Amino acid sequence: MSNEFIALAVPALLLFSAIFILLFGFSSHYTKNRGYFITLATLFIAFIISANGVGTKYSILILPDIFNSMVVYDTFSATFISLFLLGGFLTLAIAKSFVDKTNFFTHESFVLLLFSLFGMVVLTMANELLTAFIALEIASMSVYILVGLNKNSLKASEAFFKYLLLGSFSASFYLLGMMLIYAQAKSTNLDVIAEYILHTELHSQLLIIAGSMLIMITIMFKIAAVPFGAWVLDVYEGASLPITAYMAGVFKIAIFAFVLRLFLKDYITFDAIYDPLIIGGALVTMFVGSLLAVIQQSVKKMLAASSVVHSGYILIAFASIGEATSSAASAIMFYLFAYFISAIGAFGVLSYISKGSDKAINYDDLDGLAKTRPIIAAALTIFMLSLAGFPSTIGFIGKFYILTSAIEAGYTFLAFFGVLSAFVSIYYYFKVVMHLYFKEAGHVEVHYGYKVSLAFIVLSGVVVLWGGVGTSLLLDIPGINALNELSRYSIESLGF
């Protein structure tokens, strides 16, 4: 498959499939099951196609005559696209039981899911600020509505409105920032801006610096960094579990894909100016995030708060990007993968045992699960260990790379703080494990059914472990080395 074909086929497939379901939804032949499986198949095929582009190093402009170098397809975007297509696929596959047991997953929900993925694909390939904005909004709009999918739940509607309001508010910063940059660089193309920065003095870059910071604020909002991410608890709580997983795991990857491109192409020259800001953001994010996570009673809210902490870890690597470019950038990629696979698994387990009910799952609801459902308990334990960064899970390797990149960049104190908040995170993650294994509960054995969901949960658990000890002993399954190589490759394809 030629790379150009892949670059066009993946978004086209997502878009056409979305439109097809949109129309099919009105036909009398439509059932929820069919819609579900069409979406799942689309995601799978798109993933397979996209995975073909991973591996070799290249960078092409897609149809430059039409798109005028607004979109670029390189190993970097191919890797990220495959990553979140896989994420979308896994989320949906695990959510099978949840989808079946609830009545608000109408055909529009699948359409919206595909639209949001389409937006993310374009966002990842965007080489230009305006394209990126449109793509970001396509994805965000779809996610807003997905949050409020359950119209009967007051909480969901509230979350939807909050997210929409604040999201629009933050988007205005982006537009303002873009305007400022355009005023000075006379272009919104990342390469042109980079060229401009390279050839001018600092005093004629002031608007770009200010504009870039405004854009960064939108991004900080999207990744829920403190103080821009105050929405995260309410919204994650209000959204139904698969959607929360989708936002925490998949949506974040796409955002980071764009930020990483932005950073490596343009911001890197302003590294000295931005570093203190990012470091401050990382510290506050990790600290406040872990404070919030510690006091939560509901497991879902704890995971939401801890996702803030994980954004903080990634910000550590962003701060290190100027000094240790290649190791920090690949650390970010690796960490994103590590986090998404563990988070999707963890949320997946919650959605699996919630059986589609609206009720928040508290720690106490997990009591004695290890006795009645040992496999689910073991899987959840693995995900918790990985999120806490326990050795021999993929989460450990992810943190290890992030912290080494920080030390390499000379930010030892930042690495130290990262370790400290990882230490605190043991408290709230192991609380889950403690409730699973060491609390007696008289509750009766529940049959959850849905072997498919369970199978994918177990699969994620295996990936988490495999990524942590990864060997090429038996089969050529990519382990740590391969994933690390992959991220290094794709970073290099950006031309750095």
Partner 1 sequence: MRDTLLLGILLLSPLVTASLIFLISLFFKNTKQTIYTLLALAGSGISAAIALYISYHSYFEKQIFSSHLFTWLNIGDFTIEVALKADALSSFMILFVAPVSFLIHIYATGYMSRDKSYGRFFAYFNLFIFFMFLLVLADNPIIMFIGWEGVGLTSYALIGFYFGDIQNTYAGNKAFIVNRVGDFGFLSALMLLFLSIPSGGFGFSNIFLSLAHIEPFTLSLIAFLLFVGAMGKSAQIPLFVWLPDAMAGPTPVSALIHAATMVTAGVYMVARFAPLYNMTPEVSLFIAYIGALSALFAALIATKQYDIKKILAYSTMSQLGFMFMALGVGAYSTALFHMFTHAFFKGLLFMAAGAIIVAFHHKQDIRDLRGIKFPKIFIMMAVASLTITAIPPFSAFFSKDAIMGALYASGHLELFAMAFVSSILTAFYMSRLMVVLFFNKGEQVAKESPKSMFYPMMLLTLLSVFAGLLNVPELFGGDLNFSHWLNLADKIYTIPHAKEWALMAVNTLFIALVIYNTYKKYAYTNAIIVEKNYGWVTNKFYIDEFYNKTVVAAIDKLSHFFEKTVSSFLIDEKINLTALAYLKLGKIVSMTENGNVRFYALYMLLGVVSGFVYLYWMLRSAV
Contact positions vs partner 1 (CB under 8 A): 161-162, 165-166, 169-170, 173, 202-203, 206, 209-210, 213-214, 217, 220-221, 227-228, 230-231, 233-234, 273, 276-277, 288, 291-292, 294-295, 424, 427, 471-473, 479, 481
Comparing CB distances to partner 1, the nearer of 120 and 226 is 226
For the bound state, the minimum distance from the C-beta of residue 495 to partner 1, rounded and expressed in Å, comes to 27
Q: Which two tokens stand for residue 133?
A: 């904005």
For the bound state, the minimum distance from the C-beta of residue 296 to partner 1, rounded and expressed in Å, comes to 9
For the bound state, the minimum distance from the C-beta of residue 470 to partner 1, rounded and expressed in Å, comes to 8
For the bound state, the minimum distance from the C-beta of residue 167 to partner 1, rounded and expressed in Å, comes to 11
Comparing CB distances to partner 1, the nearer of 3 and 140 is 140
Comparing CB distances to partner 1, the nearer of 410 and 495 is 410
Q: Is residue 227 reached through a cis peptide bond, with omega within 30 degrees of 0 on the bond before it?
A: yes
Return the amino acid letter for 453.
S
Comparing CB distances to partner 1, the nearer of 228 and 450 is 228
For the bound state, the minimum distance from the C-beta of residue 165 to partner 1, rounded and expressed in Å, comes to 5
Comparing CB distances to partner 1, the nearer of 115 and 417 is 417
Comparing CB distances to partner 1, the nearer of 101 and 162 is 162
- Annotate the chain with three-state secondary structure: CCHHHHHHHHHHHHHHHHHHHHHHCCCCCCCHHHHHHHHHHHHHHHHHHHHCCCCCCCEEECCHHHHCCCEEEEHHHHHHHHHHHHHHHHHHHHCHHHHHHCCCCCHHHHHHHHHHHHHHHHHHHECEHHHHHHHHHHHHHHHHHHHCCCCCCHHHHHHHHHHHHHHHHHHHHHHHHHHHHHHHHCCCEHHHHHHHHHHCCHHHCHHHHHHHHHHHHHHHHHCCCCCCCCHHHHHHHHCCHHHHHHHHHHHHHHHHHHHHHHHHHCHHHHHHHHHHHHHHHHHHHHHHHHHHHHCCCEHHHHHHHHHHHHHHHHHHHHHCCCCCHHHHHHHHHHHHHHHHHHHHHHHHHHHHHHCCCCCCCEHHHHCCHHHHCHHHHHHHHHHHHHHHCCCCCHHHHHHHHHHHHHHHCCCHHHHHHHHHHHHHHHHHHHHHHHHHHHCCCCCCCCCCCCHHHHHHHHHHHHHHHHHHHCCCCCCCCCCHHHHHHHHHHHHHCCCC
Comparing CB distances to partner 1, the nearer of 149 and 233 is 233
Comparing CB distances to partner 1, the nearer of 12 and 277 is 277
Q: Which two tokens stand for residue 240?
A: 């139904």
Q: Contact 195/265 with Cβ under 8 angstroms?
A: no
For the bound state, the minimum distance from the C-beta of residue 10 to partner 1, rounded and expressed in Å, comes to 33
Comparing CB distances to partner 1, the nearer of 165 and 434 is 165
For the bound state, the minimum distance from the C-beta of residue 403 to partner 1, rounded and expressed in Å, comes to 13
For the bound state, the minimum distance from the C-beta of residue 276 to partner 1, rounded and expressed in Å, comes to 7
Comparing CB distances to partner 1, the nearer of 111 and 197 is 197
- Provide φ and ψ at 297, rounded to 5°: -100, -30
Comparing CB distances to partner 1, the nearer of 117 and 424 is 424
For the bound state, the minimum distance from the C-beta of residue 266 to partner 1, rounded and expressed in Å, comes to 16
Comparing CB distances to partner 1, the nearer of 118 and 270 is 270
Q: Which two tokens stand for residue 96?
A: 């099978």
For the bound state, the minimum distance from the C-beta of residue 154 to partner 1, rounded and expressed in Å, comes to 12
For the bound state, the minimum distance from the C-beta of residue 370 to partner 1, rounded and expressed in Å, comes to 14
Q: Contact 233/305 with Cβ under 8 angstroms?
A: yes
Which residues lie below 8 Å from residue 464, measured CB to CB, with a gap of 6+? 341, 342, 345, 382, 383, 386, 393, 394, 395
For the bound state, the minimum distance from the C-beta of residue 143 to partner 1, rounded and expressed in Å, comes to 17
